[in-house]
Structure 1
Amino acid sequence: MQVLQKTQKIVRYQNQQGKIHYGIVEDEMILQLSSSFAELVNKEIKYDGVELKYSDVKILEPVKPSKVVNFGWTYAGHAKETGGEANLVEPFLFLKPLSSLIADKEKIILPPNDLSNQVELEGEVALVIGKRGKNIKEEDALDYVFGCTIFNDVTARDLTKKDPQFTRGKGFDTFGPLGPCIVTGIDPTNLRIVTTLNGRVVQDGNTNQMSLSIPFLISWLSQVMTLEPGDILATGSPSGSCSINSGDVVVVEVENIGQLCNYVE
């Protein structure tokens, strides 16, 4: 057994034999692990001697969380463009169902037009919680983060404007692309987010522009609910959210993490 280094790129994948593993990404290769997620968050890594080409495996969502917690309107520009509160004192909070999660390269399936005809992208940085926490102090909050990944908070905007709460507009199956990896040891408070739609840049922001800080969000949330290892905290979207249509390709790129690419159908 070895100790997890401070900065590692970790993927969860299915190999050609159908077995699911975690692995460490190095260049175009994956070093296969026998470690569980619980062992990884305790910085325990067990290499099993297998190396695979990244292109030869199916990348899965990097974790199976107990919950996906989303913070809305954390960027003033996005709040203004979607009719939200641009100067929040407390976070705006909602949950997405686990059935919304899909992996890198998987398809976002649009709902029928009689349910929604205005679906939009929202590129975000997501935090992966590494240890159980309740009533966390703000100064200790980042100690509870195992790593960072990428999230696309796909949204039926016509429904979030119409409904009294966000569950339906945010909760369709496939409306939660996540991945492709978890990167440990990076600062989530200063990460650039660039989202492209069919190669055209539509979002370009940085987590240092958030109106509420990431440590504050973690601390505040932990007063409401217990955070568990593997939980996903999506930190909100910068401005530039726009409609997506069948045939589109959406890529959310986050500095020091990589790219999350999904096709729209």
Structure 2
Amino acid sequence: MIILRFNHDGENKTGILDGGKIREITGSCYNEFDLTGTFHKLSDVKLLPPCEPKKVVAVGLNYMDHIVEFGERKIPEEPTIFIKLPHAVIGSEDSIIIPRRAERVDYEAELAVVIKKYCRRVDKEEAKDYILGATCLNDVTERCMQARDGQWTRSKNFETFCPIGPYIVTGLDYNNLDIKLLLNGEIKQHSNTSNMIWNVEELVSFISGIMPLYPGDVVTTGTTRGVGPMVPGDVVEVVIEGIGTLRNYVK
């Protein structure tokens, strides 16, 4: 199933992609919903971020090649996590705004999963039952601030620094998906989620042992090597097998 949020005639709605058209639903995609008889063309709506997270819990250094790229050689004993806040979330086709104080703003292509139900202290064997589906995420980062600050809150949380979308797709093998990032049509990152150090279920279990996760919250799983800067005028795309393309314009 392909779930999306959209705006049509000034109203925000949720639907599923059905035969290339959007079919509106009533109820919540996180539990029970009904299909309506109302359809829309994709070209007639504005896509919104596919969920409204209270928080985005992000994981750093989850691909060995990125650890080396980051200047390290040792795998951390536990996942390195940080938070991206809701004000940073934008959708596909929205603009990433370079802050005035920024020196270097980087792209980071990531697989993200959306939580389906209240999730607290969940074993990894149960974790998949708490996941609604997967989506694309660009963990936009001000790299110079990240290096100077010694922690990542400022560098990761400027407005528009968390593009998510275009859809939430259910039923995928989260741990074996091809992932790419294209900058102005040129491939800059390319890997497979099978190369993650901690898989999706392990990450959800680990994070839920620290903080509760709620329906609509997002866990994003880290990036591979090839991170690099974006400048105004660039078009950046995260492409994940089975999900689609998250496209944003840099301003």
Q: 2:20 aligns with which of 24, 28, 37?
A: 28
Do 2:54 and 2:85's aligned partners in 1 also have CA atoms closer than 8 Å?
A: no
2:212 equivalent to 1:226: yes
Partner of 2:96: 108
**How many angstroms apart in 1 are the aligned matches of 2:245 and 2:76?**
29
**How many angstroms apart in 2 are the aligned matches of 1:24 and 1:86?**
43
Q: Please report the TM-score for the alignment, with normalisation by the length of structure 2.
A: 0.97
Structure 1: stretches of 5+ with no match in the other structure: 1-7
2:17 equivalent to 1:41: no
What is the CA distance between 1:85 and its match in structure 2? 6.0
Identity over aligned pairs, percent = 40
How do residues 2-81 of structure 1 correspond to structure 2 at under 5 angstroms? 8-15=1-8, 17-36=9-28, 40-42=29-31, 44-81=32-69
Do 1:73 and 1:84's aligned partners in 2 also have CA atoms closer than 8 Å?
A: no
Partner of 1:192: 178
Amino acid at match of 2:106: E
**How many angstroms apart in 2 are the aligned matches of 1:122 and 1:208?**
17
2:117 equivalent to 1:120: no
2:248 equivalent to 1:259: no
What is the CA distance between 1:53 and its match in structure 2? 0.4
Cα deviation digits, residues 162-208 of structure 1 (max 9, x gap): 10210111010000000111001111111111110000000001110
SS of 1:128 mapped into structure 2: strand
**How many angstroms apart in 2 are the aligned matches of 1:205 and 1:123?**
10
What is the CA distance between 1:83 and its match in structure 2? 2.8
SS of 1:139 mapped into structure 2: coil
Structure 2: stretches of 5+ with no match in the other structure: none
SS of 2:208 mapped into structure 1: helix
Q: 1:159 aligns with which of 145, 148, 159?
A: 145
Do 2:188 and 2:226's aligned partners in 1 also have CA atoms closer than 8 Å?
A: yes
What is the CA distance between 1:52 and its match in structure 2? 0.7
SS of 1:93 mapped into structure 2: strand
Number of residue pairs matched? 251
Moved more, 140-149 or 79-88: 79-88
**How many angstroms apart in 1 are the aligned matches of 2:184 and 2:87?**
26
Q: Please report the TM-score for the alignment, with normalisation by the length of structure 1.
A: 0.92
- CA 85–217 in structure 1, closer or farther in 2 if over 3 Å, else same: farther
**How many angstroms apart in 1 are the aligned matches of 2:37 and 2:21?**
13
- CA 199–70 in structure 1, closer or farther in 2 if over 3 Å, else same: same
Amino acid at match of 1:256: G
Do 1:190 and 1:207's aligned partners in 2 also have CA atoms closer than 8 Å?
A: yes
Cα deviation digits, residues 15-41 of structure 1 (max 9, x gap): 1x21111111124311111222xxx22
**C-alpha root-mean-square deviation of aligned residues, in Å?**
1.1
**How many angstroms apart in 1 are the aligned matches of 2:213 and 2:159?**
24
**How many angstroms apart in 2 are the aligned matches of 1:104 and 1:35?**
24
**How many angstroms apart in 2 are the aligned matches of 1:85 and 1:106?**
36
Amino acid at match of 1:96: K
